[in-house]
Chain A
Amino acid sequence: MSDLSGLRRGHSYYEANARGRIARLLDADSFVEILGPAERLTSPHLESLGQPCAFDDGIVIGRGRLNGNPVLIASQEGGFMGGSVGEVHGAKLTGLLELAAKEKPSAVLLLLESGGVRLHEANAGLIAISEIIRALLAARGAGIAVIGLIGGVYGCFGGMGIVARCCDSLIINEEGRLGLSGPDVIETTMGVEEFDASDRALVWRTMGGKHRYLLGEVQRLVEDDIAAYRQAVTETLAQPVQALSLPGLEEEHRTLKHRLTRYGACQDSTEIWGDLGFDDPPQLPLLDIESFLQAANRVCRRES
């Protein structure tokens, strides 16, 4: 990992905000925002509830370049209502994916940080996520690579967790969390016996980047450095785009079925990691990314 375009080293993806991530991920000064804050496009529903609004409704979208390649990009702002999807937020993302099908950029980059549907406008948010999914899959159907990046404070949950797994390829850091129902939601609804949301170690080993990588749900696990994400996107762009196809989905079906058969009775991720062939599963969360990836590679070789 020595050629991480050295100039931009050392900027945490986890800690950056939506605009900071875009600025450091793309080629310098290449980003041009679409419907930026100057348009004053805010949620009509928050206003009627007396809630504070954001001039971008918590998502930044636009065009830019990565190594000179034209890309479309969206970045959710976890700092505004947890990156939740409301009517305007969702329409901006859907519009961007529809623009991609028309404009055919080298890729669409989705910087996902969201708890899912924004409850203040729940029905509109749910339909919006369904529209995002349809537009995303239509963009993929048009041959566009859709690459998801995860690794912010709020993780990627709810309907956006489904959206993430509709992407061609995902990049995550160790701090990144990906799932459907967040720990708090499970604890509140099902009780602390089902899931103790205050047990951070449990949260990370169940929904965190390392587990998601080992299950094969994300393609790249990177250091918490925006330059590392940039490198991973560059590598992803060099690969052929995977269109939705019957053989591809049959293969995914077999994989998911195998996972359920093999691990359906597991109570904890450490059981799964032990079965994968790791000698000391409880140690995995403690390894730095480089050692972790080395260990994971050894196991994969042993499997094959």
Chain B
Amino acid sequence: MTITALLNELFPSGHAVTAADGVITGLATTPKGEMAVLGTTDHLAVGVETALALADFVLEIVRDRPGLPILMLVDTQGQRLSKKDELLGINGYLAHLVKCLELARMNGHRLLTLVYAEAVSGGFLSFGLMADEIHALPEARVRVMNLPAMARITKLPLELLQELSGSSPAFAPGVESFFRLGGVQEIWTRPLAEQLNKALDRPPGGDSRREEGLARQGRKLAGPVSRLVTAA
């Protein structure tokens, strides 16, 4: 779905979110009050400029609008693959964005994510995956890599990967896989404005993805293993 249609569905009371070079930022109105919105459109490959533009907005919100909830709308094909980005240290730019979002959380901003189109590896990692709650539309596409590329790099037969995709959410691309792993908390059905209100009503919790992954039997070891370590 287009970003315009999405914003209209999410914020029937109105919004002032604008797009520039695949980056969206702005404020929107919900029945619970105002909220900040940021994200990407058109399957944007997240490069150094993207990270700076998003970080700029997050810092502005932390500075000028204490405690305002932040919604991240994700549509990215991943990090931008280029020599220029690596030369400038793109990993540091993405880490900067991640740290700005953590600062927002530390300062009491609620962080929500909605994956509405694509969410892939480094691009997803740099903002959407930092939220307290991560949700996705049923038609969204979440993955690290598609199966043919995965087969090529791991040197495993594509047929084997396709066969195991049915039973193993750990590497099968898709929203359903991420849901079972706890990486996506809920798959949103319409009306979306209602789902957003419900999310804003819930008290923010810690990082519960391991527990959800265990409850949904997609990631059976992550929670227990980290608990063994903290108890050691």
Residues in chain A within 8 A of chain B (CB atoms): 34-35, 41, 44-45, 48-49, 61, 87-88, 90-92, 94-96, 98-99, 102, 117, 119-131, 133-135, 137, 141, 158-159, 161-166, 178-181, 185-186, 189-190, 194-195, 206-207, 211-212, 215, 217, 244-246, 249-250, 252-253, 256-257, 259-260, 263-264, 266-269, 272
B207 touches A253 (CB 8 A): no
Q: Is the CB of A162 within 8 A of B122?
A: yes
A193 → chain B, closest Cβ, in Å?
A: 10
List of B residues within 8 angstroms of A90 by Cβ: 222
CA–CA, A59 and B209, complex, Å: 22
Q: Decide: B93 and A130 in contact? CB cutoff 8 A.
A: no
Hey, which chain B residues are within 8 Å of A190, CB to CB? 81-82
Given A94-B226, A127-B181, A217-B89, A159-B125 contact (CB < 8 Å) = yes
Interface of A is mostly: helix
How many residues from B make CB contacts under 8 Å with A? 76
Chain B residues, Cβ within 8 Å of A263: 87-88
Is there contact, CB below 8 Å, between A127 and B96?
no
Residues of A within 8 A of B227 (CB): 95
Q: How far is the CA of A42 from the CA of B192 in the complex (A)?
A: 41
Contacts of B169 in A (CB 8 A): 123
Q: Given the known A-B contacts A87-B170, A122-B171, A257-B52, are A249 and B100 also in contact in the complex, defined by CB atoms under 8 Å?
A: yes
CA distance A211 to B86 in the complex (A): 11
- In the A-B complex, the 10 residue pairs with the smallest Cβ-Cβ separation, listed nearest first, are A95-B229, A165-B95, A95-B226, A161-B91, A122-B144, A91-B225, A130-B129, A127-B183, A180-B91, A121-B170
The answer on a CB contact under 8 Å between A246 and B122 is: no
- Cβ of B108 within 8 Å of any chain A Cβ, yes or no, is no
Q: How far is the CA of A141 from the CA of B101 in the complex (A)?
A: 13
Which chain B residue has the least Cβ–Cβ distance from A259?
Answer: B88
How far, in angstroms, from A195 to B100 measured CA to CA in the complex? 31
Main secondary structure of the interface of B (DSSP, over half): helix
CB nearest neighbor in B for A34: B232
Q: Is the CB of B81 within 8 A of A126?
A: no
A122 and B145 contact, Cβ closer than 8 Å, known pairs A127-B209, A256-B96: yes
Known: A88-B225, A120-B171. A215 touches B144 (CB 8 A): no
Give the residues from 82 to 117 in chain B that come closer than 8 angstroms, CB to CB, to chain A: 82-96, 98-100, 102-103, 106-107
A45, B85: Cα distance in complex, Å: 33
Q: Does B121 contact A (CB under 8 A)?
A: yes
Name 9 A/B residue pairs within 8 A (Cβ), A-sorted: A91-B226, A92-B225, A99-B232, A123-B143, A127-B183, A162-B95, A162-B98, A185-B81, A244-B106
B23 at the interface (CB under 8 A from A): no
Q: Which residues of chain A are within 8 angstroms of B126 by Cβ–Cβ distance?
A: 162
Q: Is the CB of A120 within 8 A of B154?
A: yes
Decide if A179 touches B86 in the complex (CB within 8 Å): yes
Binary A-proximity of B164-175 (CB < 8 A = 1, otherwise 0) = 100011111100
**Once the chains are docked, how many angstroms separate the CA of A290 from the CA of B94?**
31
Report which of A122, A131, A256 forms a contact with B150, defined as CB distance below 8 A: A122
Other-chain residue from A48, A96, A252 in contact with B164 (beta carbon distance below 8 A): A48
The answer for the CA separation of A167 and B81 in the assembled complex, in Å, is 23
Q: Is the CB of B221 within 8 A of A253?
A: no
Residues of chain B lying within 8 A (CB to CB) of residue A44: 220-221
Quote the shortest CB–CB distance from A218 to chain B (angstroms).
10
Min C-beta distance of A189 to chain B, whole Å: 5
Whether A252 touches B96, Cβ cut-off 8 Å, given contacts A34-B232, A131-B210, A260-B88, is yes
> B149 to nearest A CB, angstroms?
9
Distance in angstroms between the alpha carbons of A129 and B145 in the assembled complex:
16
Are A95 and B83 in contact, CB atoms less than 8 angstroms apart? no
Which of B89, B122, B130, B153 contacts A159 (CB under 8 A)? Answer: B122
Task: Give B200-232 as 1s and 0s: 1 = Cβ < 8 Å from A's Cβ atoms.
Answer: 000000010110010000011111011111101
**For residue B56, which residue of chain A has the nearest CB?**
A253
Interface residues of B in 146-194 (CB under 8 A from A): 150, 153-154, 156, 160, 164, 168-173, 177-178, 181-183
* Contact, CB under 8 Å: B98 / A119: no
Write out the residue numbers on chain A whose beta carbons fall within 8 Å of the beta carbon of B177: 123
Q: Which B residues between 56 and 100 are near A, CB-CB below 8 angstroms? A: 56, 59, 62-63, 79, 81-96, 98-100
> Given that A44-B220, A96-B229 are contacting pairs, would A165 and B91 also be in contact in the complex, using a CB cutoff of 8 Å?
yes
Nearest-CB residue, chain B, relative to A133: B98
CB distance from B120 to the nearest CB of A (A): 9
